[in-house]
Amino acid sequence: MRAAVLGAALAVLGPLAAGCGSEVHTPSAAGAAPVPERGSSPPPGSRTPPVPPVPTPRGPRSARTACSPDGTRLEALEPDAAMGLRGMRVTLVNCGDAPFRLDGYPALRVLDGAREPFEVRVVEGTATVPDPGPKAITVRPGGSASAVVVWRNTVTHGTTVDGVFLEVGPGRGLRPAALRVPGGLDLGTTGHLEVTAWSLP
């Protein structure tokens, strides 16, 4: 009788004893670290590889031209946009070894991807942003001057202008250069562009 009871008990405990050497890992609700598969456990004393940092968002896109033979370079950030109003600061850098003079407003043309001009009316002066007004300034080597270009993205009727390049004529004695505008020049159907005079920082 005792032998029969003992045999029944061993029959029940046998499968449980076979699983005693295995550990069951259940991830928590918060999400536990995954358990390595057999044969992939890190060797004793090794460290867990560091988690790579989360990349931070990039700042505004920018563009620049190469330094021209007359010692000038154009730079611009992607235009700021708010409620259809666009604004972009264009910077003229003296990358040469001699000072040059600026007097008044830059001459502008809006160009397409093939560098063909659109019919756009450029207005010297604007009430949208502060305009220092035309005056003679000297830009020394390593220095810069800037002007702000302003336009509205309004679409009603007519030809839509989506410019790719902004051609900037700095002034007397300095050759124009075409700057690819980050984000483009989306004038809609306004065909209208305003610009401030050159000013020193």
Give burial (CB, 10 Å; 0-12/13-18/19+) of 198: buried
Which residues, 6+ apart, have CB-to-CB distance to 146 below 8 Å? 89, 90, 91, 92, 198, 199, 201
Q: Taking 60 as the threshold, does the pLDDT of residue 165 lie above it?
A: yes
Residue 60: per-residue pLDDT: 72
If pLDDT is split at 50, 70 and 90, which confidence band does 44 have?
low
Any idea where the domains of the chain sit in the sequence? 62-195
Share of the chain above pLDDT 90, in %: 64
Structure tokens belonging to residue 71: 């010692």
Fold topology of 62-195: Immunoglobulin-like (2.60.40)
Q: What is the mean pLDDT of residues 77-105?
A: 93
Q: Taking 50 as the threshold, does the pLDDT of residue 26 lie above it?
A: no
Q: Taking 80 as the threshold, does the pLDDT of residue 148 lie above it?
A: yes
Which residues, 6+ apart, have CB-to-CB distance to 29 below 8 Å? none
End-to-end CA distance of the chain: 105
- Interval 61-85: pLDDT, tens: 899 999 999 999 999 999 988 778 9
Q: What is the mean pLDDT of residues 14-21?
A: 40
Structure tokens belonging to residue 162: 């989506």
Read off the amino acid at residue 70.
Answer: D
Residue 52: per-residue pLDDT: 41
Assessment of whether the complete model's pTM goes beyond 0.85? no
Q: Taking 50 as the threshold, does the pLDDT of residue 32 lie above it?
A: no
Which residues, 6+ apart, have CB-to-CB distance to 77 below 8 Å? 60, 61, 62, 88, 89, 182
Q: What is the mean pLDDT of residues 25-42?
A: 43
**Of 6-15, 86-95, 146-155, which range is least confident?**
6-15
d(CA 78, CA 129): 17
